[in-house]
Amino acid sequence: MHTHMGGIHGAALTDIGLRRAVNEDAVLSARSIFAVADGMGGHEAGDLASRLCIETLEKIAVDPAGVGPSGLPHAQAVLAQVERADSMIRNAIGSRGGTTLCALALVSAEPGGGTWPQEKPAAATTIELPVQAHAVAAPDGKITPARYLETIHEAHVHPGEAVFHRGAPDAEEPAPTTDVLPYVPVPGAGAPAVTRLDGGEQDHATHDNTAQDPAPGHEPEVRLMLLNVGDSRGYRLREGRLTQLTLDHSAVQELIDAGSITEAEARIHPQRNLITRALGAGGNSVPDSQFHELVAGDRYLLCSDGLTGEVDPAGIERILNQTPDRSEAMARLVDAALASGGRDNISVVIVDVSGPLRPA
């Protein structure tokens, strides 16, 4: 799947991997929006969840609502579409599945002075698990990040919450599972932060799509809006250096934040596939959002954990630096994940910024 809009060029690729019977990932590279959705729940659940997510987001590019002077959607319209996707997944499959999401969208300034969504203080959050009587808990009943993983297998799932598994266990090595943990905001903490930042045969599935820019006019105030729910990630390669822009909504990320484990230890942690947010599942489906200037030469990577679970950041950085061609870079990333085991579906989206927006 390839698309370009003036100075923005994107491409997407998804692969079933070596262990899975179904590809539960879905990808999008459209006129103004690019995304990776990693479904969970198995056939007719996870794959449906990711597909519904992508199809809903694609409508923003085809028929954007709440457009600005650039002909691009406003940030709030993109967030509303994510909420719509969450609702559609819940209505379609109930508690049987859900999906992560990492998306990059071209958005126009909000009406009324060209302002962006106001930054808010970061919301304090915690994970609350109903534990057995013999489980260790703090006096207030909350399990601290450094401690709660010890009680996960003794925890009951909240009513209405589901436990989702990515694929059946492998005969030789159990396949990783993904559970959506209850994720409860601290009362009175407010909404999540909106952050502004400047600055065998393989089942490869690719698609082509090219769209034209709206009629040229005055220079529009446009940003790249990056949003994520779950553990699919967004990276930026700038001047040869790869930076992870998104923060995983996962159990091991909580442990990293608490200083209990390192990033390297998180990659092999037995509960590395437990996530705390997902669309269509669990209690919290609100995406983290951030806004980036369009800087010529920047390269963005969106990917599912089928890539990051197999290839370390240094390997990803090396491939992105050595491979200017998007199609070749995507194929090399997927091949690297397959060579490392390919235990999950693998999805990548690469978006290159070559300059300011202009008619394609």
* pTM for the full predicted model: 0.74
The confidence band for 214, taking pLDDT boundaries of 50, 70 and 90, is very low
Identify the band that residue 70 occupies on the pLDDT scale cut at 50, 70 and 90. Answer: low
What 3-state DSSP class applies to 149?
helix
Burial (Cβ within 10 Å: 0-12, 13-18, ≥19) of residue 335: middle
Better-scored residue on pLDDT, 137 or 223: 223
Q: How far is CA 230 from CA 177, 224, 227, 318, in A?
A: 14, 20, 10, 25
Largest CA distance in the chain: 67
pLDDT score recorded for residue 279 = 95
Do the Cβ atoms of 91 and 50 come closer than 8 Å?
no
Sorted by where each starts, the structural domains of the chain and their CATH numbers stand as 2-112+190-247+275-353 (3.60.40.10)
**What's the pLDDT score for residue 297?**
96
**pLDDT tens, position by position, 310-358:** 999 999 999 999 999 999 999 999 999 999 999 999 999 999 999 777 5
pLDDT for 133-174, tens place per residue?
222 233 343 333 333 333 333 332 333 333 333 333 333 443
Question: pLDDT per residue over 249-302, tens digit each?
Answer: 888 777 887 888 887 777 778 777 788 889 998 778 899 999 999 999 999 999
Using pLDDT thresholds of 50, 70 and 90, give the confidence band for residue 219. Answer: low
Mean pLDDT, residues 104-128 taken together: 52
Residues 6+ apart with CB under 8 A from 20: 166, 167, 175, 344, 345
Question: Which carries the bigger pLDDT value, residue 204 or residue 72?
Answer: 72
For the chain, the average pLDDT equals 74
DSSP state of 268: T
What's residue 68's pLDDT?
A: 64
Nearest-Å Rg of the Cα atoms of the chain is 20
C-alpha 52/C-alpha 58 separation (Å) is 10
Question: For residue 132, what pLDDT is reported?
Answer: 26
The 10 Å Cβ neighbour count of residue 347 is 33
- Position 69 scores a pLDDT of 60
The pLDDT score that the predictor gives to residue 326 is: 97
pLDDT surpassing 60 at residue 79: yes
| Helix, strand counts (H, E) of the chain | 8, 17
